[in-house]
Structures are given as structure tokens and as C-alpha cells.
Amino acid sequence: MGHRHQHPRGVGQLEWGGGQLLCAKIIRSRSTQCLSFPLTVATFLASTCWTLYGLLLGDLYITVPNVPGIVTSAVRFWLFRRYPPDRDRPYKPLHA
């Protein structure tokens, strides 16, 4: 008997929809200022670890919910590459 965690219906859809709106805002503004790079890295690593763990156990209840985290993190990494944070700085750094 394994533990099965159930999420309230619609939570995944809200996360996915919110991410889509955020991506549209980033593409329109050409700025990744509203994204957190450390959070994106953490999400990618956690989702990847849980997905691999689920695959090792052969447990779809662990694997499937974590795949979107990998996909959305990959999209966010692409956005960081496409619209580098350096462009967001309205100033030039001082050289000592």
C-alpha cells in the first residue's frame, strides 16, 4: 500500500494558466524581471528528482504530477536565455 496524495481539483490548471499568463507578459515586455531564477532552478531540480523517483518505483501518481514542473522550468530557462536579466538593468554597474 502506497500513499496517494490528492490535490484539490483545479490546482494544476491554475498553476499552468498562471504560468501561461506570466510567459505572455514576459514576451510582451521582453523582460524576465518578474521571474525568480533561483526558484526556477529549485523547481526544476525538485520536479526532476520526484519524476525520477516515480519512474524508479513505477508509480505514475508520483511521476505524472511532476512532469509539468520540468516542462515549465524548461520554458522559464528558455525565457531567461532569450531575455537575459542584464537587459533589465536601467543603470550600468560601477567599476572600482
Per-residue pLDDT tens digits of the chain, which is 96 residues long:
455 555 444 444 445 455 667 777 787 888 888 888 999 999 999 999 999 999 999 999 999 999 999 999 999 999 999 988 765 555 555 676
pLDDT of 65:
93
Say if pTM beats, i.e. exceeds, 0.75. no
In a domain, 20, yes or no: no
In a domain, 75, yes or no: yes
pLDDT of 7:
47
In a domain, 48, yes or no: yes
Whole-angstrom distance, CA of residue 96 vs CA of residue 91: 15
In a domain, 24, yes or no: no
In a domain, 43, yes or no: yes
Whole-angstrom distance, CA of residue 88 vs CA of residue 33: 6
In a domain, 41, yes or no: yes
- Contact between 80 and 30 (Cβ < 8 Å): no
The whole domain housing 71 covers 32-83
Tell me the longest C-alpha to C-alpha distance in the chain: 62
| Count of structural domains, the chain | 1
In a domain, 38, yes or no: yes
**Per-residue three-class SS string for 32-59:** CCCCCHHHHHHHHHHHHHHHHHHHHHCC
